[in-house]
Each structure stands twice: as structure tokens, then as C-alpha cells.
């Protein structure tokens, strides 16, 4: 942790806080630009692939920010419908939801795990916040995002792309309840927690592809904790990730939206399928007799505890309140 990295990370968080605490679109746009210009130096660490990813990310984010500013200017001219539509499209492009998701896949391959967490979680808070202020229904975008995010993840071998498609799928679920801040904020914070735990485990394993997880020899306890975290990300009960699916299911039931509920369940089954498949492939290469929870590292034990005890704890708090 050098001083330059600390400075850029602090400036990036300052830009996010400026956008979240603003009451007009111009100040929100300024906060977005501050966070973008602070995040770009964090992405570049001298690697050629990182430089390419940072350039692609800068181009797409600059283009979407320009569209956002054009939409704000049109709003000032009292062309509310056109301006609101342009702002919504610019934010969807900035988030990387389907069908604007292709740039995400080309960017994630060149990022380290810290930048991956920032891009898939922190940099999406402000666009989701602005979309929540808009009065546009994004049901079709959410439907398309869920389908593409769940189906495309079935054929991935790269862990980064797998997490990218998982992020795209979760964005589709967040957009369903984006106008209810109490729901989407809890959903996204839980998603960020699980993503952070998974990235910490991947960093400790020093693996980038699914084949490496299968073939590299390491203790079964760490491998099992890693794949339990992946199952939690997929939303398999009784792990913490299932709470996110439960929130959206309850939201759709309260709104009597049974069609979207059926599609959500079908796409969630696809997501759970490829996470379970990868878990079984990994476990077949280890002996279960070697497993001992007391030999886990502190990170592994904390990850296992959060994923197993998080859902019962939140469910108990909901019942008590």
C-alpha cells in the first residue's frame, strides 16, 4: 500500500460520496468524473494487459458520462422524456447490463483482484442510485440481463469472466427493485460482501482459471471453503447468498409479478447449476478424509462462518423486527 495508491483510492471514494450526497445532476456528474479519473491510475500497474483494460474502461465510461451530460442539458431545455431516456441509457451503459455488457468481459481479464472488486461493486453504486431516481420501468432490460448473465456463464472457464457474468446477472435482479432503496441497497451490500470473500480466496489460491482450481494441489479444506463461497454467490440455500434471492422473490410476490418470478427462478437454477457443477469437479480431485476445519486459515474460517451463519442471522433479525 504505497502513498499514491492510497491517494487515488481516497479520491475515488470521495467522488462516490460526492455523487451519493448530491442533490442535482451536475454535482453527481462531477462526482462520477472524480471517481473515474481516480480509478484509472489504480488500474494501471505497468502490465500491458492492464493498460489495455484501463483504456477500454476509460473510453466506455467517458462515452457514457458524455451521454449523461447531454441528457442533463436536454432536461434543462424542458425536453423531459428525451432527456430522461438518454440519461437512463447512459447509466445502463456505465453499469454494463445487457445488451451493453460486452465491454465488461474485455476489461475484467486485465484487472487485478482489488480493481475487479472496485469495478464490479463500488463503481456501480452511483449509477444504481441515479437510476433509482428515474421514473422509467426497466423490466425488459432486467429480463434480458438475467437471461444473458445466467446462460453465458455456463460456458466460461475464466474465473474473472464467471464473476463478471455473475455480476451482470445480479445487476438484472437489482434493477427489478432499484426504485426501493431499502431493498436494492441491502441486496448489493450482501453481494459485495460475498464477492470480497471470493476474491480474497482466489488471491490466496493464485488461480485465474477453473482448470487451475481442479489441478493445483492444495488442502481440501481451503478448496471446500472456496467452492462453498461460490455456491453462496450462486444463491444456494442455506448460504448467505440465498438471502438476496429471497428478497427479490418476496418483492415480486408483493407486486404480483408472477411472470418475472418464474423467469427469475429458472435463471437462478442455471446459475446454481454451473456453480454446483464446478464444485463437484473440484471435490472429486481431493480426499474427504483430509478435511479438518481446525486446520483452516483465518480467512477460510471467516468465509465459511459468514456464508453459513449469515442467512440464519439476517432471517432472525427480520422476524424479530
Q: What DSSP assignment string belongs to 264-281?
A: HHHHHHHHHHHHHHHHHH
User: Are both 198 and 149 inside the same structural domain?
Assistant: yes
Final residue of a domain: which of 67, 95, 123?
95
| 243 in a structural domain | yes
Instruction: Supply the pLDDT for residue 284.
Output: 57
| 101 in a structural domain | no
Task: Using alpha carbons, select from 304, 136, 142 the residue that is nearest to residue 228.
Answer: 304
Instruction: Supply the pLDDT for residue 291.
Output: 45
User: Are both 43 and 88 inside the same structural domain?
Assistant: yes
User: Are both 254 and 137 inside the same structural domain?
Assistant: yes
Residue with cell 472488486: 117
Residue numbers in the chain where pLDDT is lower than 70: 1, 45-49, 214-221, 223, 279-305, 307-309, 311, 314-315, 317-321
| 248 in a structural domain | yes
Final residue of a domain: which of 60, 95, 130?
95
| 100 in a structural domain | no
The parent domain of residue 263 ranges over 112-320
Instruction: Supply the pLDDT for residue 320.
Output: 63
Instruction: Supply the pLDDT for residue 183.
Output: 87
Q: What is the pLDDT of residues 170-209, one digit of tens each?
A: 998 999 888 888 888 888 998 998 888 888 888 877 777 7
| 106 in a structural domain | no
User: Are both 71 and 130 inside the same structural domain?
Assistant: no
Burial 180-200 (b: 16+ CB within 10 A, else e): eeebbbbbbebbbbbbebbbb
User: Are both 262 and 130 inside the same structural domain?
Assistant: yes
User: Are both 172 and 33 inside the same structural domain?
Assistant: no
User: Are both 117 and 153 inside the same structural domain?
Assistant: yes
User: Are both 76 and 126 inside the same structural domain?
Assistant: no
Domains identified in the chain, total number: 2
User: Are both 193 and 272 inside the same structural domain?
Assistant: yes
Instruction: Supply the pLDDT for residue 287.
Output: 42
Other CB atoms within a 10 A radius of the CB of residue 234 amount to 27
Cα–Cα dist 306/300, whole Å? 10
Cα–Cα dist 220/245, whole Å? 29
Cα–Cα dist 245/268, whole Å? 8
Instruction: Supply the pLDDT for residue 206.
Output: 76
Task: Using alpha carbons, select from 303, 143, 179 the residue that is nearest to residue 239.
Answer: 303
| 270 in a structural domain | yes
User: Are both 37 and 124 inside the same structural domain?
Assistant: no
| 175 in a structural domain | yes
- 63: three-class secondary structure by DSSP: helix
User: And the C-alpha cell for 86?
Assistant: 438518454
User: Are both 119 and 75 inside the same structural domain?
Assistant: no
Q: What is the pLDDT of residues 262-317, one digit of tens each?
A: 888 888 888 888 787 776 665 655 444 444 444 555 666 666 667 666 767 766 76
User: Are both 157 and 46 inside the same structural domain?
Assistant: no
Amino acid at each position: 500500500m504505497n502513498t499514491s495508491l492510497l491517494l487515488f483510492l481516497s479520491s475515488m471514494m470521495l467522488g462516490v460520496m460526492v455523487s451519493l450526497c448530491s442533490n442535482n445532476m451536475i454535482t453527481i456528474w462531477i462526482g462520477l468524473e472524480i471517481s473515474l479519473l481516480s480509478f484509472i491510475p489504480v488500474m494501471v500497474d505497468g502490465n500491458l494487459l492492464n493498460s489495455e483494460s484501463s483504456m477500454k474502461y476509460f473510453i466506455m465510461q467517458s462515452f457514457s458520462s458524455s451521454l449523461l451530460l447531454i441528457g442533463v442539458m436536454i432536461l434543462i431545455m424542458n425536453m423531459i422524456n428525451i432527456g430522461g431516456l438518454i440519461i437512463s441509457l447512459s447509466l445502463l451503459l456505465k453499469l454494463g447490463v445487457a445488451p451493453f455488457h460486452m465491454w465488461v468481459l474485455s476489461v475484467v481479464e486485465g484487472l487485478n483482484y482489488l480493481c475487479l472488486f472496485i469495478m464490479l461493486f463500488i463503481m456501480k453504486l452511483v449509477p444504481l442510485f441515479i437510476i433509482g431516481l428515474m421514473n422509467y420501468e426497466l423490466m425488459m432490460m432486467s429480463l434480458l440481463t438475467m437471461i444473458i448473465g445466467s446462460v453465458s456463464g455456463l460456458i466460461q472457464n475464466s474465473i474473472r469472466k464467471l464473476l463478471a457474468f455473475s455480476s451482470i446477472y445480479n445487476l438484472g435482479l437489482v434493477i427489478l427493485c432499484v426504485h426501493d432503496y431499502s431493498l436494492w441497497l441491502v441486496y448489493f451490500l450482501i453481494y459485495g460482501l460475498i464477492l470480497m470473500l471470493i476474491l480474497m480466496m482466489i488471491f490466496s489460491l493464485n488461480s485465474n482459471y477453473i482448470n487451475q482450481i481442479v489441478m493445483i494441489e492444495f488442502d481440501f479444506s481451503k478448496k471446500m471453503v472456496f467452492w462453498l463461497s461460490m455456491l453462496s454467490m450462486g444463491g444456494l440455500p442455506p448460504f448467505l447468498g440465498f438471502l438476496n434471492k429471497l428478497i427479490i422473490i418476496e418483492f415480486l410476490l408483493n407486486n404480483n409479478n408472477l411472470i418475472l418470478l418464474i423467469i427469475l427462478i429458472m435463471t437462478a437454477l442455471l446459475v446454481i447449476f454451473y456453480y454446483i457443477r464446478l464444485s463437484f469437479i473440484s471435490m472429486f480431485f481431493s480426499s474427504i478424509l483430509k478435511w479438518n476445519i481446525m486446520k483452516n486459515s483465518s480467512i477460510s474460517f471467516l468465509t465459511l462462518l459468514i456464508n453459513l451463519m449469515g442467512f440464519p442471522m439476517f432471517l432472525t433479525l427480520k422476524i424479530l423486527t
